[in-house]
Chain A
Amino acid sequence: MKHTIQRRLLALFLASLAISIVVCAAFSFQSSYKMSMQQGRSYGLNTTNTLAGMVNEVGLDRLSDPANAELYASFRKQMRNLCSAANLTYLYVYTVDDTELRHFIITVAADDEKDLVMQREFPIGKIGYSPLLDAERTALRGEQSYEPARFANDYGNEVSWTTPCLDADGSVIALIGVDYDISVGEELVKQRFISSAVPVVLVLVLTFIALFFFTRMRIIVPIRRISSRMERFDPSNAPEPLNITSQDEIQQISEAFDKMSDDIRAHLDSIRKISAEQAKAQAQMDVARRIQCGMVPASFHEHKNGVDVSAFMESAREVGGDFYDCFPLGEDRYCAFIGDVSGKGVTAALFMAMVKSMLRDHLKLGMSPAAALNIVNDELRAANPEGLFATVFAFVLDTGTGELLYANGGHNAPLLLRGDGAVYLEPDPGIALGVFEDAGIADDRLTLAPGEGILLYTDGITEAVNTSRRFYGMQRLQELLSAAAANDSEAVSKAVRESVTAFFAGGEQFDDMTLLALFRRGAAPAEIELPAEFGSLDIIKPIVLREGGGNGKKILLACDEALSNIVRYSGATQLFFSCETGNGYMRVTFRDNGTPFDPFAEESGDFRDFDGLDAGGMGIAFIRELSSEASWRFEDGFNVLSLKFDI
């Protein structure tokens, strides 16, 4: 700190002390000077009056007569006594002639040395030439001048008064001068000043000391305590209160500071608590999300069991309640459902988990979709304290016949994906599960031809909101899928996902987005006619690889061998190829009009004779090895080779 209050107070005090001393000095000088002048004048005038009486008594003529030296000397002695008794410096008697010259008669000084000088320099008859003063002229007229004349010369620093010496007739016979040494007066002034200034200074100093200690005790020390308390402020630890009880502004500051510290501490505390709670809630949310993601995979694709299914679920920031599931039911049926639970967060996630497992269990038991939905509804009604509900759409597809049995529990209408575009199915809306007893949901049915599909979704897709607050909408979804003329579930799922993501670009995803697309496969596609040459393998290659999945290359190898045999040995001019897939299998059929030949008739075709392998026979051995069923028949002039593979 550059300036302390104490130092400033001291400076202020010194300044006021100096000013008071000056004021005091000026004042006491003024009054003392006045007093001493008055004193000098009254002494002086008393003395001159006395001396005038003495002169009249003795007679001026006699004094002036040189013959009366004795009288002169004794008179002079008396004058000196008068002079020193009245504290005067000089006392003198003189006359003024018509030419205004002074004729000194007697001149004395109170001081011995000065008196010797006077005796020598102002003997009787000494003439003074200096011009007359106003006071002298006044005296010559017989009047008394009260204003003193001031002068400083070889004889001292003096004031003088001149008094006329009048005879009995009242005429002026001589003038009497009296000089008063101002330095005497100055000494007096000094004494007066000291006697008046000392008490003033003393009082000032005492007052200052009292004020200084008061300030120190009552202001500076408490302020320093508060300031050090502020410096060492600790948000986690409340120290003892300062307990300043001075009942003044300092106490106010101290109390205000204590209150402010308490407020800050309480505030920080609550912030800490809130962050801890938030972290805990976030952790729970993360767990819930992991549970949800574990139960409902973020994406799914399956191309077997007579169907081509793709699904995805994209969670919003919070855990929501979307779910889907799909699984084969025995050899020739495939089941799928999608749903959306009301609300968000952990509660919704738990409810979702419950609904999903119940549905799955009941559908796996072979219940129809409506039966499963109704029974799940009843179970939810029995144990649903939170009053949550779920919308669900479920179906079971017969992969052989294409019959699709479906039921709706208040869910969004699915889209049918047919060769001529996408059309919304108009199912009975049904009712969300968990709301009413006896939901009365009924099954309905439709038929999916091979290559046709169905698209299930949640409102997170159709109600995705973009930055201009528009919904993605059912129409946009329908137009997108009609334009795509899709028959590949993965492509459909990808197209929708990209379209919705692009739609709300820059905005936030508010709700879970879930989609499930399923296409029916399996039924025999039309037979393809192939040229009877090796290069025909390139025509069937993409079909076999796509339908055969992970086993595609091995199936293709068998087809390659079959085709090679036909081209090489049968002499066929017409060749047809067809394939179909079912639950876990793929069947390939070649028909040719060549020479009838049963490749499986002999025990030919194995790998036992390694060195003879280059001669042939490996092809049929591979066909046998790779297929699960291999048969030949001759039908309507055609060799029919039928091969079945596991996929």
Chain B
Amino acid sequence: MTITTITEGSAAVLALSGWLDTQAASELQNALDALDGKIESLTLDMKELEYISSAGLRLLVSAHKKLNGNLTIRCVSSEIMDIFKIAGFDKRMHIEQ
């Protein structure tokens, strides 16, 4: 998968593209670790994301906790939204379709 990071002050945008499966989750983990402590809010752009598994979801939950809920997920496809709904993310996180 491909991750593009744009940082602006205490805010960052991560554009995710491709397949975020168990194997690719470590890439996102590294990208998030690099921002750790430097930002107060984060936006994940999932416009180009085709797939997400529980390994990826786990990272979203931990990021959400670290940023005290200042995590926005945007441009979510209906396929991935289905997964979010199964996991109940749509009720707990800020998701824009």
Contact = CB atoms under 8 A, between A and B. Distances in A.
Nearest to A556: B51
Given A537-B21, A610-B92, A614-B61, A560 B53 contact: yes
Contact of B86 (A534, A563, A607): A607
Contacts of A556: 51
Nearest to B24: A534
Given A553-B51, A613-B87, A618-B54, A537 B61 contact: no
Interface in B64-83: 65, 79, 82-83
A563 B54 CA distance: 12
Interface of B: 21-23, 50-51, 53-55, 57-59, 61-62, 65, 79, 82-83, 86-88, 92
Contacts of B59: 614
A563 B88 CA distance: 23
Contacts of A537: 21-23
A557 interface: yes
A560 B86 contact: no
A560 B51 CA distance: 11
Contacts of A535: 23
Given A537-B21, A610-B92, A557 B53 contact: yes
Contacts of A625: 86
A616 B22 contact: no
A613 B53 contact: no
Interface string A608-631: 101101101011011001100000
A622 B83 CA distance: 9
Contacts of B57: 613, 618
A561 interface: yes
A610 B57 CA distance: 11
B22 A607 contact: no
5 contacts: A535-B23, A554-B82, A613-B58, A614-B65, A626-B86
How many chain A residues sit at the interface, stated as a range, is 20 to 34
A611 B21 CA distance: 21
B24 to A, nearest CB: 9
Contacts of A564: 22, 53-55
Given A607-B87, A610-B88, A614-B62, A561 B54 contact: yes
B58 to A, nearest CB: 5
B53 A614 contact: no
A613 B88 CA distance: 11
Interface of A: 534-535, 537, 553-554, 556-557, 560-561, 563-564, 607-608, 610-611, 613-614, 616, 618-619, 621-622, 625-626
Given A614-B59, A626-B86, 4 more contacts: A553-B51, A554-B83, A614-B58, A622-B54
A196 to B, nearest CB: 122
Contacts of A563: 22
Nearest to B62: A614
B51 A557 contact: yes
Nearest to B93: A610
B87 A618 contact: yes
Given A534-B22, A537-B22, A560-B21, A622 B86 contact: yes
A619 B83 CA distance: 12
A542 to B, nearest CB: 13
A534 B54 contact: no
B10 to A, nearest CB: 23
A621 B61 CA distance: 16
A153 to B, nearest CB: 138
A460 B94 CA distance: 59
Nearest to B80: A553
Given A535-B23, A611-B65, A619 B54 contact: yes
B28 to A, nearest CB: 13
Contact of A618 (B50, B58, B79): B58
A567 to B, nearest CB: 8
A608 B21 CA distance: 23
Smallest CB-CB A-B distances: 6 pairs: A618-B54, A614-B62, A614-B61, A534-B23, A564-B22, A560-B53
B78 to A, nearest CB: 11
A622 B51 CA distance: 14
A535 B22 CA distance: 9
Given A561-B54, A619-B54, A553 B79 contact: yes
Contacts of A626: 86
A616 B51 CA distance: 19
B94 to A, nearest CB: 14
Contacts of B88: 607-608, 610
Given A537-B21, A553-B79, A607-B88, A561 B53 contact: yes
A619 B23 CA distance: 14
Contacts of A614: 58-59, 61-62, 65
Contact of B58 (A534, A560, A607, A616): A616
A316 B56 CA distance: 54
A292 B23 CA distance: 52
A610 B54 contact: no
A611 B88 CA distance: 11
